[in-house]
Amino acid sequence: MRIGILGSGSGSNLQAIIDAIEAGTLDATLALVLSDVPDAFILERARRHGIPTGVIDCHGFKTKFPLESQFQTAADLKSADCDLICLAGFMRLVKDPLLKAFPQSILNIHPSLLPAFPGIAAWRQALDAGVSETGCTVHHVDAGMDTGPILLQAKVPILADDTAESLHARIQVEEHRLYPEAIRLLLKQRVH
């Protein structure tokens, strides 16, 4: 399986996937890492491991993912022979040009037990809501925000003295275990 990654930030989930591949526990190749943020650390992590990178030109739009950019991104991922796309901290909504180019083949990781707390800073939403546990979810991507069929989830308890930072850090530990596991599961599902 050849994986393409889209991310906007630090890329710790990319790192977890790299580590799993290098440890021989995930049978996949990272074919291309693309970011809409030219100086995002996710690109640096990819370069350090010899993974091809590219920058997505969003034509100056802050949050929108313009259709031309989505067509270009789909073409770049196809040229790199990707057959699975993993969103890893990618901050723009993916729509038809990309969804149609990779049907049933785009995953996202989100820091809550979806369908609870979709959207931004989900760990803070959970803390503010006063719930006793939250977690993370790997799901198939559709045109909605953090909707789409769920592949795997992991729970994280919320502790009495948790801050937004401490909770997010504990969720990320689970994310780094869950994303490679979800990709492994998808591989198995495809084989069967």
**Residues forming the site for ligand GRF (CB under 6 A):** 7, 9-13, 42, 88-89, 109-111, 172, 175
Is 110 noted as a catalytic residue in this protein? yes
166 is in an annotated binding site: no
Instruction: List b or e across 158-188, with b for residues whose CB sees 16 or more CB atoms inside 10 angstroms.
Output: beeebeeeebbebbbebbbebbbbbbbebee
Q: Which is it for the CA torsion 46, 47, 51, 55, positive or negative?
A: positive
CB of 88 to ligand GRF, least distance (A): 5
Closer to ligand GRF by CB, 4 or 111: give it: 111
Closer to ligand GRF by CB, 77 or 109: give it: 109
Q: Which of 110, 139, 168, 176 is catalytic?
A: 110
191 is in an annotated binding site: no
CB of 109 to ligand GRF, least distance (A): 4
CB of 136 to ligand GRF, least distance (A): 6
Closer to ligand GRF by CB, 75 or 145: give it: 145
Contact (Cβ atoms closer than 8 angstroms) between residue 135 and residue 156: yes
CA angle at 177 for the pair 172 and 186, rounded to the nearest 5°:
120
Contact (Cβ atoms closer than 8 angstroms) between residue 100 and residue 129: no
187 is in an annotated binding site: no
Residues 6 or more apart whose CB falls under 8 angstroms from that of 70 comprise 94, 95, 96, 97, 98
Q: How far apart are CA 66 and CA 59, in angstroms?
A: 8
87 is in an annotated binding site: no
Q: Give the active site residues.
A: 110
- Binding-site positions for (6R)-10-formyltetrahydrofolate read 91-94, 108
- Binding-site positions read 11-13, 91-94, 108
